Chains A and B, each alone.
Chain A
């Protein structure tokens, strides 16, 4: 664990809530980015991120310093995200009579279109990848997002998901194949590079 985090945690446990505020600011974007790719809904992702920090605060006494704070935080956030996603699917499934396999696409940043280059193509590609990601099984998707999007190492992913490293590897490989299958099924082109 980084010394910064350890100091902030110690101060938080001593009753200094502003120290916990610093931890929130440090990790909020990183956690939000991962959670957003898991639940595909900005408001939900914000709520989950916020709840993850609240839960982390309440459980901070039980946090063992042998792991990274953020992997522990990720575990809380990812479990909440997967749980929320399942509930959402159940709800959508009930509301739509079982045809609830649609993903909720968030509008992308308008500012993105003002960037030079083939912005529209890139946006289309991203939407396709984002939509396909939502159809990958929850357990596989979490590994894929943590590895490729967040750039975590295997041992960190193993910590965050509470899995053996071997399982992380095999899930990652399967996640890649599943994503590929979904993209092919969507009858679209592979993104141009």
Chain B
């Protein structure tokens, strides 16, 4: 039995790593023990055998495959340029809004202050310019002086002599201070509506088990009817598998574009885009929680739908799903027949509805690779989606989902 320390020295010698001081020591050990010599020889042969293993070549040119995969999944380098352009424009808008607010506030403050200053300086009974509002240039409007009337000097500390005559509320040339303060400004100021811009919210899968995270997510989902929801996952194919199962469990279906289906089947690392409009906020909450629990995704980002998203959706589906001119495919509505027809008619309508539902397989979503391929005409699969698209029910959300791989 060779001690470990000696065995390691032999291995080091075979690798050419032994220190000169240890070489002599090893030589003595080798001279003493045939077992040591045998190990030394065997290790040398092993090194030679490993070095002689044939070099394996990949056998195909990977470059086209790699470049095609990169083009299909549009890596982050390109995505950031294309996809965020619409979002980046929001910051100038927010900045402009803030500046507008500040300008309006300053203007209002200046106008108020100017009026208040004038009010404080002018004698109530004597100054005819008291009620004058500010001119467009910001100066108080001064009437043309009459020949007989003395010049009015605003800052004159001594009041001018005026002929005494009775003044009533109706004929008084001067408005009361209270009237001035409550009178509307002559110069119109555009009202500014303050709105809080909605920004993207990141959520992490690890937090989805906590109410503190789920509640904001639920609130955000309920805040609007249209959302963009991006999932980031180490395995988007698995995420799509799980998501498809969840869709089917809710009696819905997905039309999967062939290229996306092929990527999924071959487990090619890809990004997927999904459009879904048959789920409620609670459905999304439940499914997201389930996916997070299984570790299917690592984090997600919820954002409002913007114009860029609508353009992408138009590419995804061939038409803009938010376009109100597009009518859903006519479907039997039992509620309408209930009002108009007899019980027999109602029974027939219900029967037809259930048959139609079975044939159509319930509401439908659409899946494609992300970013959606640009195409002028509506494809067969997109047509299938539009034909099977059902009337959207109240309380259901329109969600543009993107499953992105984490590098």
Q: Which residues of A contact B (CB under 8 A)?
A: 13, 17-18, 20-22, 24-25, 28-29, 32-33, 36-37, 42, 45-46, 49-51, 53-55, 57-61, 108-109, 112, 125-126, 129-130, 133, 144-145, 147-149, 169-170, 172-174, 176-177, 179-180, 183, 190-191, 193
A178: shortest Cβ distance to chain B, in Å?
Answer: 10
Contact B58 A172 (CB under 8 A): no
B356 interface residue (CB < 8 Å to A): no
Contact B46 A54 (CB under 8 A): no
For A169, what are the chain B residues with a Cβ–Cβ distance below 8 Å? 12, 15, 17
For B42, what are the chain A residues with a Cβ–Cβ distance below 8 Å? 180, 190
B388: shortest Cβ distance to chain A, in Å?
Answer: 35
**Distance, CA A51 to CA B47, complexed state (A):** 30
A43: shortest Cβ distance to chain B, in Å?
Answer: 11
A-B contact count (CB 8 A): 132
B119 interface residue (CB < 8 Å to A): no
For A21, what are the chain B residues with a Cβ–Cβ distance below 8 Å? 63-64, 66-67
Contact B62 A50 (CB under 8 A): yes
Our pick among A17, A42, A125, A148 for the contact of B67 (Cβ within 8 Å) is A17
Known interface pairs A169-B12, A169-B15, A177-B11; A130-B46 also in contact (CB < 8 Å): no
**Distance, CA A144 to CA B53, complexed state (A):** 13
Q: Name 8 extra pairs, CB < 8 A, besides A18-B67, A20-B70, A133-B50.
A: A36-B56, A49-B62, A53-B66, A55-B407, A58-B76, A129-B46, A173-B15, A191-B48
Q: Which residues of B contact A (CB under 8 A)?
A: 7-8, 11-12, 14-15, 17, 39, 42-43, 45-58, 60-67, 69-71, 73, 75-77, 269, 407
B403: shortest Cβ distance to chain A, in Å?
Answer: 16
Our pick among A20, A33, A54, A180 for the contact of B56 (Cβ within 8 Å) is A33
For A51, what are the chain B residues with a Cβ–Cβ distance below 8 Å? 269
For B67, what are the chain A residues with a Cβ–Cβ distance below 8 Å? 17-18, 20-21, 24
**Distance, CA A131 to CA B8, complexed state (A):** 23
B406: shortest Cβ distance to chain A, in Å?
Answer: 10
**Distance, CA A101 to CA B7, complexed state (A):** 26
Known interface pairs A25-B61, A148-B47, A176-B43; A58-B55 also in contact (CB < 8 Å): no
Listed residue (B43, B57, B66) with the most chain A CB atoms within 10 angstroms of its CB: B66
Nearest to B60 among chain A residues (CB) is: A46
For B75, what are the chain A residues with a Cβ–Cβ distance below 8 Å? 54, 57-58
**Distance, CA A58 to CA B404, complexed state (A):** 13
**Distance, CA A176 to CA B47, complexed state (A):** 8
Our pick among A54, A149, A172 for the contact of B66 (Cβ within 8 Å) is A54
12 contacts between A and B (CB under 8 A): A24-B66, A54-B75, A59-B407, A126-B53, A129-B46, A148-B51, A149-B50, A149-B53, A169-B12, A172-B17, A173-B12, A174-B8
